[in-house]
Structure 1
Amino acid sequence: MSHEQLYGHFHPDEHRFVDKAAEWVQRAEEHSAKLTDFLDPRQAFILMSLVQRGRDVQVRFEGGHPRAERKRALIAPDYRVLDDEEMGISLIEVTSPDEKLSELDHGDYMGAILGLGIKRDKIGDIHVRDEGCHFLVATEVADYMRLNLTQVHRVHVTTELLPLDRLQASEQKLDEMSLSVASLRLDGIVSDVYHLSRAKVLIPIKAGRCKVNWKQEEDPSKPLREGDVVSLQGFGRFKVLELEGQTKKGRYRLKVGKFI
């Protein structure tokens, strides 16, 4: 299948990743293996779609724990045994005696990590706990991270490399809220969740700063469904937990959870 044919299945902003993934698959068809950086669920879906179209190619995904959201992928010829292959994932623990440590959130840790010049693609899931943080990182940058991550949002911290089996994965916390909306349109629900006017919501959506299930979505009228995960750049993300039916006046009752 040509790249032009492939492009028809994906958003234009995804074409660059499609090109890279197609090249990885082609190399595996030619008996070469590729270990990727961490992929989000949408990228993993695209890669799997291309692997399934390939000839005699397989892929293994690994994120450091069974419920990982972000995962590295190993694409290789189908005769290669991948179960025991090294996936290049390291675990870093962040701690501090400062009592303000418990006030830090996911965004604080992410900001500190990216502030060191580390690309997001090198970082896996971040697990925030009251006692600090466990986060997964590509092994090739793990030592740099351990040596240079000394402060998170004005809290001085220490870091330590731990074996993967000592990972303490945190449960994803959601701030649940009930809404009554006129329709299931993306712009209307985003507006209510973040307490923004419809006009202010339209701008980032049309500018490509909104994603539904990790896929860029520029159509404000897109109807949301139960289970959809929506992110708005600069505001975080939420999940449509339950569609509870309609009121007598025809409004939709639903429950959403904001990730915290």
Structure 2
Amino acid sequence: MSHREIYEHFHPDEKSFVDRAWEWVERAAERHETRRTDFLDPRQAFILFTLANRHPDAAVRLDGGGSAAERKRAIIAPDYKPLEDEEMGIAVLRISSDDKKIAELDHGDYLGALLGLGIKRDKIGDLHVHEDGCDALIAEEIADFLIGHMKQAHRVDVTVSLLPLEELRESETELQESTLSVASLRLDGIASDVFRLSRAKILAPIKAGRCRVNWKSEEDPSASLRAGDVVSMKGFGRFKVIEVEGMSKSGRIRVRIGKFV
């Protein structure tokens, strides 16, 4: 397959990852190599799966450790290799505390604590937050480091322990739903309403590359959103376009939004 054929279906900003992913696929198919990746976001997983499907001699398995995992590790191998026998290298880090303030911590607090220790985001999978702590899916190769170094999460003293995957306590994703009345389905218009910012203030983070739509960088404020799109804005949060309900008599569009909480 030519490089032009590889790139034509992906955004130019994704070139670096597409190059890496295609190299993994080629090495599996032509050199009979087996590789285990770090955690991939859904867009990266889609790219890798798409590329692997284009090569008849490569196969890929994706697994995030949970039944509805968003972030997943991948095994890329020659197509004759049984992938179900391969270890995915995922462990559960249980973060808990005797301090009642732990009930106030959210996804960002736990993620910030992990990243604050110098851990790269791609070594961390999904985080399952509960009132009494958090179960974090992590790459097993960083487990010993975290056991020895993680002592706090957002100024709350915590203890951490390592558990097998079968003891994972999953949490359901909560969406705070609301219905907006908007003039159009433009990204900047909907995002400004969701995050309660002026249109002028929402433009800066979008143009600075801090916005992703379906895990793909989006720097065009006028980009049109559709039902099912997931929008994340670094520093502000995430929301999903659940449904475009239709046009009102005044010509405005009713959109049902779910904000991740």
What TM-score do you get using the length of structure 2 for normalisation? 0.97
List runs of 5+ in structure 2 lacking aligned partners. Answer: none
Amino acid at match of 1:171: E
- CA displacement at 1:55 relative to structure 2: 3.0
1:17 aligns with 2:56: no
Amino acid at match of 1:38: F
Amino acid at match of 2:33: S
Cα shift readout 1:13-67 (whole Å, capped 9, x = no counterpart)? 2111111101100110120011000000000011011101113110000100120
1:240 aligns with 2:231: no
Tell me which residue corresponds to 1:3.
Answer: 3
Tell me which residue corresponds to 1:182.
Answer: 183
Cα distance in 2 for partners of 1:231, 1:88 equals: 28
Cα distance in 2 for partners of 1:173, 1:145 equals: 27
Tell me which residue corresponds to 1:56.
Answer: 57
Between stretches 204-213 and 85-94, larger displacement belongs to 204-213
Cα distance in 2 for partners of 1:128, 1:66 equals: 15
- CA displacement at 1:220 relative to structure 2: 1.7
Alignment check: 8 A CA contact 1:57 1:77 kept:
yes
- CA displacement at 1:3 relative to structure 2: 2.8
Tell me which residue corresponds to 2:138.
Answer: 137
Cα distance in 2 for partners of 1:150, 1:4 equals: 49
SS of 1:145's partner is helix
Cα distance in 2 for partners of 1:103, 1:207 equals: 31
SS of 1:144's partner is helix
Cα distance in 2 for partners of 1:40, 1:188 equals: 26
Cα distance in 2 for partners of 1:206, 1:153 equals: 30
List runs of 5+ in structure 1 lacking aligned partners. Answer: none
Between stretches 5-14 and 225-234, larger displacement belongs to 5-14
Tell me which residue corresponds to 2:112.
Answer: 111
- CA displacement at 1:164 relative to structure 2: 0.5
- CA displacement at 1:211 relative to structure 2: 0.9
SS of 1:38's partner is coil
- CA displacement at 1:144 relative to structure 2: 0.8
Tell me which residue corresponds to 1:47.
Answer: 48
Cα distance in 2 for partners of 1:174, 1:241 equals: 10
Cα distance in 2 for partners of 1:5, 1:202 equals: 33
Alignment check: 8 A CA contact 1:3 1:19 kept:
no
Between stretches 219-228 and 5-14, larger displacement belongs to 5-14
Between stretches 10-19 and 128-137, larger displacement belongs to 10-19
Cα distance in 1 for partners of 2:92, 2:43 equals: 23
- CA displacement at 1:219 relative to structure 2: 2.0
- CA displacement at 1:177 relative to structure 2: 1.6
Paired residues for 1:1-260 under 5 Å: 1-29=1-29, 30-260=31-261
List structure 1 segments (4+ residues) > 4 angstroms apart after TM superposition.
none
Cα distance in 2 for partners of 1:112, 1:245 equals: 42
Cα distance in 2 for partners of 1:207, 1:139 equals: 34
- CA displacement at 1:195 relative to structure 2: 1.1
Cα shift readout 1:91-121 (whole Å, capped 9, x = no counterpart)? 0101101000000000000000001111000
- CA displacement at 1:8 relative to structure 2: 3.0
Cα distance in 1 for partners of 2:131, 2:35 equals: 37
- CA displacement at 1:137 relative to structure 2: 0.4
Amino acid at match of 1:247: S
Cα distance in 1 for partners of 2:208, 2:180 equals: 26
What TM-score do you get using the length of structure 1 for normalisation? 0.97
- CA displacement at 1:134 relative to structure 2: 0.2
SS of 1:140's partner is helix
